[in-house]
Structure 1
Amino acid sequence: MILLPRYLCVLLSVFVSSGVQQSAAQSRPHIILIVADDLGWDDVSFHGSDQIPTPNIDDLAYNGVILHNYYVQPICTPTRAALMTGRHPIHLGLQHDVIMGAMPSGLPLNETIFPQYFKKLGYSTHMVGKWHLGFFAWQYTPTFRGFDSFFGYYNGKEDYYDHMTLENEYMGYDLRDNVSVRHSLDGQYTTELFTTKVEDIIKQNNNQQPLFLYLAHLAVHSANPSQPLEAPDKYVKRFPHIQDKNRKMFAAMASALDDSIGNITKTLKDTGLYNNSIIVFTTDNGGPAAGFDRNYASNWPLRGIKATLWEGGVRGTGLIHSPLLEKSGIIQEGMVHVCDWLPTLYHAAGGNVSELPQNLDGVNLWDTLSMGTASPRNEILHNIDPITQTAALRVGKYKVIIGDVYKGKWDGWFKPEQVTDGIRPDHSSQDMRAAIIECGHKPSNASTNCKPTKSPCLYNIKNDPCEYNNIANMYPDILKELLSRLDEYNATAVLPWFPPDDPRADPKLHGGVWSPWVNLTTL
């Protein structure tokens, strides 16, 4: 028997251990997390839209898992906060409105977020696109919060070509590569610019390290008020059948988004990463329809729009696609919430979910999504906003809604422009695999039988997904149970962090660029 010197034994042990860790990291799946901005329920053809074909997104959906009861928050910042942390916005102080450019607010620094968790699993972490989680101090920006690289913008929107952002009274440039401003990219269409960057990141990955890639598209959010809808002519020309100029331009923007998804998927396949990748595609909220926020998305036939608590504001377009799924080509009817992605994908990446913080609101749904088992989730809190005095909660098939942000103005059912009756003008091109919502008969009092500012309304979402029939008076005991559950949630909420604009944020004071303006180290 040959005895090795002790120092050689130690070195051998370290070498073997590091080799095992490296091998484990290399076997972890690549995670591609894609967020579309303001994409409505009816803006993808896998939901039955025959106005705007989305063949690349459809391909992921039909050969993956379509999420039919998938919920997001009603607006941008809260959804992104829930996505990054696995926690509900009521527990983050981000349940009211969005973070504006000059607002000294952000996703709290005591929260661990997606890339930080995944770096512990050996991932390289990259972000492209919209941040919208605060930037008043550098510590709140992506590369200070776990991302190895960032290419994108800090605010909630920007011009698609010149990358300028108007936030209330302040205008400034907003495009960065890590922390450096990138003026040289003026004139390049943002959707294509972000796609190229993502393709470059994928190509540069040598498959020696698992990739966590977060793409938060600008599309199809409106830009600045002077030119809210923008797309290259090559996309506009795809829609001669849409005469309404606003819906036509929106369709062009959505088509560019769809091409982006197709190009990214192709790059994954060309580089050999696809077979070990998990792709998630989600919107951040319901679509801004009928000119809301100068945009022309569609949530038809759902009720309401972005920023409301009706299904059109919170029922999101979502899917998961991967060769690693045990079952694919299915429509998952179980409930899924945007905060579930963190524990779900952490588990899929080989992480131990029990090691995640116990205060997460998200649920590990990997078995549900991969194998088609029943979802363990039975309820979803849509929101509680103490400032607007609004709230909504779904438990099982029932949903309660209280208050109204816009006092009834956006409570209706908004058909996409040029659809003039209650059904689509042409079903001939509709894919039989499409996940379509059927509303049933619309009663004459659908618009008047619920006055949520006066009393809570109750709906059976399973039987009445379009929220036609307020059944609060028919089922007072069920209403009482849901209101009690809302009270329980409210008892755990923190106050909204929604300070007024700080004039020190004015880009004029920072070379015309949106930049952090508070030095936390001197406070």
Structure 2
Amino acid sequence: MAMKLVTAAAMAGVAFGMTATPQRSEAAALASKKSAEAQTQPNIVTVMIDDLGWNDVGWHDEKFATPAMSSLAETGVVLERFYTAPTCTPSRSQFMTGRYNIRNGMQDSVLHSTEPRGVPLNEEFLSTKLQTSGYRTVAIGKWHMGMHQSSYLPLSRGFDRHYGIYTGGGSHTGHFSVSQSFTVRHQADAQIWQGYNIWEDGVPSEDNYGKTHSTHLYSGKAAEFVDLFETEDDDTPFFMYLAYQAVHDPIEVGDEKYVSETTCSSITSPPGNKDDSGIDWDNRQILCGMVAEIDDGVKNLVLKLKELDEWDNTFMLVFSDNGGVGVHGSKNLPLRGEKADYWEGGVRVPAFVTGGFTEGALATAGVSPYSNTDMVHITDLHTTILNVAGYKPESTAEAKPLDGVSHLSQWIAGGSSVDGVEAARSEMLVNINSALFGGSGAIHVGDYKMIVNPEPSESRIYAKTRKALVAKQGILDQEDFQQILTYVHAEVLGTATKYIFNIAKNEFETEDDDCTDAEACSNLYDNEDFADVREMMEEKWGQWKLEAAPSTFMWADDGPLADPALFGGMWDSWRDGDNTPKAQYFGMSVLDADKFEGMTAMLHHSTDLAVSMGSAMAATGGSGSFGMLAVALTVFGAAIGMVSYRAGKRSGGSSTYESLA
């Protein structure tokens, strides 16, 4: 594994030509003169927590049981203004690419399990860049960046090892994901598909058939990989992307003790479990337990790194992918809004930098651990990590410019812009949706934030668009579809609402018409005293909007072609390398011999695995009906030709579901 302590003060300037800031100590300046060749690369560990809200951590709410993470935050740099996208896939895309989602068409919505799209393959992931820099790479947990083709999966995007789920979520203890067709056509009711979801290095994991909570599985696997890396090679650094599935719903703990035996038990509900906050307080106690389980996993990972004498040379980042969800028990207060919103509560989340590498860098610079109040965007983590790793970007025509900026020098300097340390960024694009979602979004320029349609209400847009598609009964031309969008946007969003806040003075985005200091407590957009600010923000908004690539979102999905029952009961990639669905529907036509021969082996495998799924579910107290349904569907397909499994070669015929593709 990686050799011991790298001087981060020196590393800060290696990859991107940065210079030491005047505020840094003489010791740091001396350290920065050390030859880059003499430095070894640190291990890099990133911990992404799903749907963790602003007040779902111990350093913001003392009742939350995060002793390990709180302690780690106290030894590093807490990022008090860390921003993500409002939902998970867009955030993960920006982290892995280091680029705003408007650059590659990922600006709209999450990926649904049956959608044939993902983060474009011409985007080079952080993992690939680190591989080229000599790192071993492992992804653990939730992926959610594309799965319809194998080329979108972790092992094809820069990761040497993988353990986790490809989908956006699922049962933490049952290990299955459920998805409905979100663009239903020809029928009013959405079809539902269900399948097991845990993969390990391209093979279905036996853990699918147990009941261990996803958090404990991922934490255990993280420690296991660290042990493995130590055994394999003591000189090669590793990059670990640990993306917990929690605290995304369903709200469930793996062990009740994380509620009953922690400070979570002190969380009480108001009368009737209701107040004006929109928080489900009964769920909040359970969600607290879910966070406590993650905290325990992080603690054990740190202990493992220390046991193997690797902690001092590990750079660690811990952060959420977006704001929390009130009905799940998450609390973003005092920030306004929640997940899926462009209010601060939807996009400003807990984050901190830690690790022995960071502790050593701060000590060398003569800086105590502190809270940084400058803007940090999730793309910045990408660039900062490359800086830490000593990655030197290629200056080729194909190289894509990064929107993320490195904060390493500023963090080591020990302060924020208010302390006289120059900020790494002065403006930031949170996101701008395409017209499909009403052109909603948010940007920051200096102290000011502009929002258009702060609550895009994706779920309502989906519901109304689905209903309109059903009414149209089939494939639409562009004019029909534009009429649907116009109707839906009018129903859901109405006239575009615009806001400008001075976040430095009004970080809670308060609107009070009676306040005396407009910047401290009101929306400035229509205030003529701030007409110059409005003009500046509109100009910047227009610039970014002009730079936006077309959205990859198409209001289309593959529906039954992605049904896990066709793939051994697992959520798997369902299109070939040529992007043709592996399964095609032909009505009731009989399979010819050539087609049947091509699918026999896969059908046999699917049937065996489906039977074991049914047995496993029955043995663990669950229903075996899903496993038997997988058998029934697969055998039914073999018998009457409902499904032609392509098994890697093209078969003729046309699909009655082409409108979904």
- Normalising by structure 2, we get a TM-score of 0.66
Q: For residue 127 of structure 1, what is the aligned residue in structure 2?
A: 139
Instruction: Flag the 1:200–1:316 CA change in 2: closer, same or farther, 3 A.
Output: same
Q: For residue 30 of structure 1, what is the aligned residue in structure 2?
A: 43
Q: For residue 18 of structure 1, what is the aligned residue in structure 2?
A: none
Q: For residue 280 of structure 1, what is the aligned residue in structure 2?
A: 317
Q: For residue 336 of structure 1, what is the aligned residue in structure 2?
A: 376
Matched, 1:400 2:450: yes
Q: Is the 8 A contact 1:25 1:210 kept in 2?
A: no
Which amino acid counterpart does residue 363 of structure 1 have in structure 2? V
In 2, Cα distance between the equivalents of 1:255 and 1:286? 18
Which amino acid counterpart does residue 422 of structure 2 have in structure 1? A
Superposed CA deviations along residues 12-61 of structure 1, whole A, max 9, x for unmatched, are: xxxxxxxxxxx9699210000110000000001112x0221311111111
For residue 262 of structure 1, the aligned residue among 283, 299, 323 is 299
Q: Is the 8 A contact 2:65 2:289 kept in 1?
A: no
Q: Is the 8 A contact 1:65 1:328 kept in 2?
A: no
Q: Is the 8 A contact 1:398 1:460 kept in 2?
A: yes
**1:229 shift after superposition:** 3.2
Q: For residue 475 of structure 1, what is the aligned residue in structure 2?
A: 530
Q: Is the 8 A contact 1:401 1:452 kept in 2?
A: no
Superposed CA deviations along residues 107-157 of structure 1, whole A, max 9, x for unmatched, are: 111111011101111110011000000100000000011100000000111
Q: Secondary structure at the match of 1:363?
A: coil
Which amino acid counterpart does residue 193 of structure 1 have in structure 2? L
Instruction: Flag the 1:252–1:354 CA change in 2: closer, same or farther, 3 A.
Output: same
Q: For residue 195 of structure 1, what is the aligned residue in structure 2?
A: 219
Q: For residue 368 of structure 1, what is the aligned residue in structure 2?
A: 410
Which amino acid counterpart does residue 535 of structure 2 have in structure 1? K
Superposed CA deviations along residues 355-394 of structure 1, whole A, max 9, x for unmatched, are: 5935211112210122234222011111111222212111
For residue 296 of structure 1, the aligned residue among 318, 323, 329 is 329
Which amino acid counterpart does residue 489 of structure 1 have in structure 2? W
Map 1:6-25 onto structure 2 (within 5 A).
none
Higher helix proportion: 2
Map 1:406-445 onto structure 2 (within 5 A).
406=456
Q: Secondary structure at the match of 2:442?
A: strand
Map 1:172-251 onto structure 2 (within 5 A).
172-185=195-208, 186-206=210-230, 207-223=234-250, 228-237=251-260, 238=262, 239-244=264-269, 245-251=282-288
In structure 1, the gaps of 5 or more residues are 1-22, 411-450
Matched, 1:314 2:339: no
Instruction: Flag the 1:482–1:452 CA change in 2: closer, same or farther, 3 A.
Output: farther
**1:406 shift after superposition:** 4.8
Q: Is the 8 A contact 1:388 1:405 kept in 2?
A: no
For residue 488 of structure 1, the aligned residue among 505, 527, 543 is 543
In 2, Cα distance between the equivalents of 1:115 and 1:251? 31
**1:322 shift after superposition:** 2.9
Query: After alignment, is 231-240 or 268-277 more displaced?
Result: 231-240
Q: Is the 8 A contact 2:88 2:322 kept in 1?
A: yes
In 2, Cα distance between the equivalents of 1:25 and 1:173? 47
Q: Is the 8 A contact 2:212 2:254 kept in 1?
A: no
For residue 502 of structure 1, the aligned residue among 555, 558, 571 is 558
Query: After alignment, is 62-71 or 326-335 more displaced?
Result: 326-335
In 1, Cα distance between the equivalents of 2:333 and 2:494? 21
Superposed CA deviations along residues 154-188 of structure 1, whole A, max 9, x for unmatched, are: 01112111111012222111000011001345211
Q: Is the 8 A contact 2:196 2:571 kept in 1?
A: yes
Q: Is the 8 A contact 1:25 1:121 kept in 2?
A: no
Q: For residue 158 of structure 1, what is the aligned residue in structure 2?
A: 170
Q: Secondary structure at the match of 1:156?
A: coil
In 2, Cα distance between the equivalents of 1:282 and 1:522? 34
Q: For residue 430 of structure 2, what is the aligned residue in structure 1?
A: 382
Q: Secondary structure at the match of 1:320?
A: strand
Superposed CA deviations along residues 465-497 of structure 1, whole A, max 9, x for unmatched, are: 000021221311101111110110011111111
Which amino acid counterpart does residue 341 of structure 1 have in structure 2? L
Instruction: Flag the 1:403–1:179 CA change in 2: closer, same or farther, 3 A.
Output: same
Query: After alignment, is 492-501 or 174-183 more displaced?
Result: 492-501
**1:498 shift after superposition:** 1.5
In 2, Cα distance between the equivalents of 1:355 and 1:269? 38
Q: For residue 17 of structure 1, what is the aligned residue in structure 2?
A: none
Instruction: Flag the 1:184–1:388 CA change in 2: closer, same or farther, 3 A.
Output: closer
> CA RMSD, aligned part only?
2.1
Which amino acid counterpart does residue 496 of structure 1 have in structure 2? S
Which amino acid counterpart does residue 507 of structure 2 have in structure 1? P
Which amino acid counterpart does residue 260 of structure 1 have in structure 2? G
In 2, Cα distance between the equivalents of 1:360 and 1:184? 38
Q: Is the 8 A contact 1:303 1:467 kept in 2?
A: yes
Runs of 4+ in 1 over 3 A off after TM superposition: 23-26, 228-231, 353-358, 404-410, 451-455
In 1, Cα distance between the equivalents of 2:290 and 2:333? 18
Higher relative contact order (CA 8 A, sep 6+): 1
Q: Secondary structure at the match of 2:68?
A: helix
Q: Secondary structure at the match of 1:43?
A: coil
Identity %: 32
Instruction: Flag the 1:25–1:287 CA change in 2: closer, same or farther, 3 A.
Output: farther
- Normalising by structure 1, we get a TM-score of 0.83
Q: Secondary structure at the match of 1:162?
A: coil
Matched, 1:170 2:219: no
Instruction: Flag the 1:219–1:140 CA change in 2: closer, same or farther, 3 A.
Output: same
**1:241 shift after superposition:** 1.9
For residue 85 of structure 1, the aligned residue among 97, 107, 110 is 97
Q: Count how many residue pairs are aligned between Structure 1 and Structure 2.
A: 452
In 1, Cα distance between the equivalents of 2:558 and 2:253? 30
Structure of larger gyration radius: 2
Matched, 1:460 2:502: yes
Q: For residue 511 of structure 1, what is the aligned residue in structure 2?
A: 568
Instruction: Flag the 1:328–1:177 CA change in 2: closer, same or farther, 3 A.
Output: farther
In structure 2, the gaps of 5 or more residues are 1-35, 181-191, 270-281, 415-420, 461-492, 511-521, 581-661
Which amino acid counterpart does residue 382 of structure 1 have in structure 2? V
In 2, Cα distance between the equivalents of 1:312 and 1:78? 16
Q: Is the 8 A contact 2:90 2:110 kept in 1?
A: yes
Q: Is the 8 A contact 1:124 1:210 kept in 2?
A: yes
Instruction: Flag the 1:25–1:138 CA change in 2: closer, same or farther, 3 A.
Output: farther
